[in-house]
Amino acid sequence: MSNAEKIRELYRDNPHISRDEVAEKLGTSKAVIKASISRDVKQGKAVYIENNGVDYSHYFNTNTAKKALMDSKNEIRWEMVELLLAAMRKETDGDKLSKLSDKVDRLLKEITE
């Protein structure tokens, strides 16, 4: 896990923690912490809150939503693979088998990405 991810997780769990405390917990300098937070704020991953805190809730909520969407898409892809495999078992035409096999391969690659 990168320092940036460790910083994000610390602020997720305690948004009002000071940069000094974060630097101490991670064993790095305050400048590294400040640079990472500034970069995240510029990229829209975090916002400054009162008392020198940093709020990463949008970043983590977005990541959770993206993961849920990908899980849903992969579930549908697995169902499509099962249907294509069932069709392949019944098919005798070589050209159609080849096309079905290509579709299965493409779906499996999408699932593993």
Indicate whether 17 and 46 sit together in one domain: yes
- pTM value > 0.75: no
Indicate whether 7 and 50 sit together in one domain: yes
**Count of domains observed in the chain:** 2
Indicate whether 16 and 49 sit together in one domain: yes
52: phi then psi, degrees, rounded to nearest 5: 60, 25
Please give the distance of CA 33 from its chain centroid, rounded to a whole number: 22
Indicate whether 74 and 97 sit together in one domain: yes
Measured CA to CA, the distance from residue 92 to residue 17 in angstroms comes to 66
Does position 26 have pLDDT exceeding 80, yes or no? Answer: yes
Residue 16 counted as domain residue? yes
Does position 1 have pLDDT exceeding 80, yes or no? Answer: no
Range of the domain at 107: 69-112
Task: Evaluate whether 10 touches 54 at the Cβ level (below 8 Å).
Answer: no
Q: How confident is the model at residue 76 (pLDDT cuts 50, 70, 90)?
A: very high
Indicate whether 47 and 11 sit together in one domain: yes
